[in-house]
Copies of this chain bind each other. A is one copy, B any other.
């Protein structure tokens, strides 16, 4: 795909990749509590956005070393560096084994491992976003990958994202770092660190279009908490917050607030010291049909917590009206690019058409944590005029939103509300 160059001796190669996603969101706000006093309306707003605009360069040096640098020009309101996604140098010891240094995605979850160019719905499911992607999954560290024909294992020791995302993250390691995600000046404490691992494979594979995928992920996250000399909590900690599957108005409907708060040594002091995350995933492709499901749990440990578990799951099915199958890459244990059987043209080519329906559930309440819970049903239709363009439309219906115990007033306003959201996307990538 795309543009590729190489020097004559083959010692240096480079390719330029890119993607653009133009999105819209229209909301039907029913039974959202009205605003009072000096507050603006609680309703979600309608609009359009350039959801992602990324350019990247990747290639190899002297055959065994490769690199990737990718930048998202629409990321965040924070520092410029927050736009960096992948930025790593990798040494390939042998075909299946490699080690990389730099910023790269955590190995965790099937939906997270899948590029946003290839996910089925316009946005990832709530658990994938709340527990993995919203924390900014591109973090600086060291990773090792091993892959065989039908399975792969990925592990990493990672720290923090490259830049400070400002308010763009709905959940984040809170205010740890006013100077950018990885600049430690100004009393931002030693970096967060985490150990991650994911293994996936195909226990059954009849052909490229008939197989069964299973996988599991695990992660330990050490949370950075900083206190003033007088014992008051200063910065750090962690929060989990989420809208439904909305892409333009990203108001947090669910919101735990910062899990670290109070003054060290007092009765009301709580500290999220570390998190453990677990994920289980499965998918089956049978010709034009597919089903996919994941469960993710995050346990919070520390002062005032006893491994309190936030969790959720999703399940959905897809069907290609035009006969294609979902494309899969065993090396990464993730979904890949769809090639229509017939490209769209004015002479009767239809491209590929895909239908999808799913159920999505998340629970951010546990013990002393009151982040709320929600379930949605969603329906999607995807049109692939050719292998590099995709037009999508999703309908998301809130089955239940329970935010009665959430401290945040805006979140609380959505308790028992009836939200419906229609989203669209026009995407090009290469």
Contacts and interface: CB of A to CB of B under 8 A. Distances in A.
Interface of A: 1-3, 5, 12, 14, 16, 18, 20, 22, 25, 34-41, 44-50, 53, 55, 57, 61-62, 64-65, 67, 69, 71, 73-77, 79-84, 87-89, 93, 101-103, 140-141, 159-160, 162-164, 167-168, 178-180, 182-191, 226-230, 232, 234-235, 248-251, 343, 345-346, 385-386, 388-389, 426, 428, 430
Nearest to A67: B428
Contacts of A14: 2-3, 16
A47 B190 contact: yes
A394 B1 CA distance: 41
A87 B73 CA distance: 11
Contacts of A178: 77
Contacts of A88: 20, 22
Nearest to A79: B77
Contact of A428 (B49, B65, B248): B65
A55 B57 contact: yes
Given A46-B191, A182-B47, A228 B65 contact: no
Contact of A251 (B61, B185, B228): B185
B229 A22 contact: no
A310 to B, nearest CB: 22
A74 B84 contact: yes
Contacts of A79: 76-77
Contacts of A3: 5, 12, 14
Contacts of A180: 77, 168
B234 A47 contact: no
Contact of A248 (B76, B183, B232): B183
B73 A228 contact: no
A185 B252 CA distance: 9
Contact of A83 (B57, B80, B187, B251): B80
**Residue from the set A46, A57, A81, A343 with the largest chain B CB neighbour count within 10 Å:** A81
A183 B250 contact: yes
Given A179-B77, A183-B248, A187-B41, A48 B141 contact: yes
Contact of A183 (B80, B227, B249): B249
Nearest to A54: B69
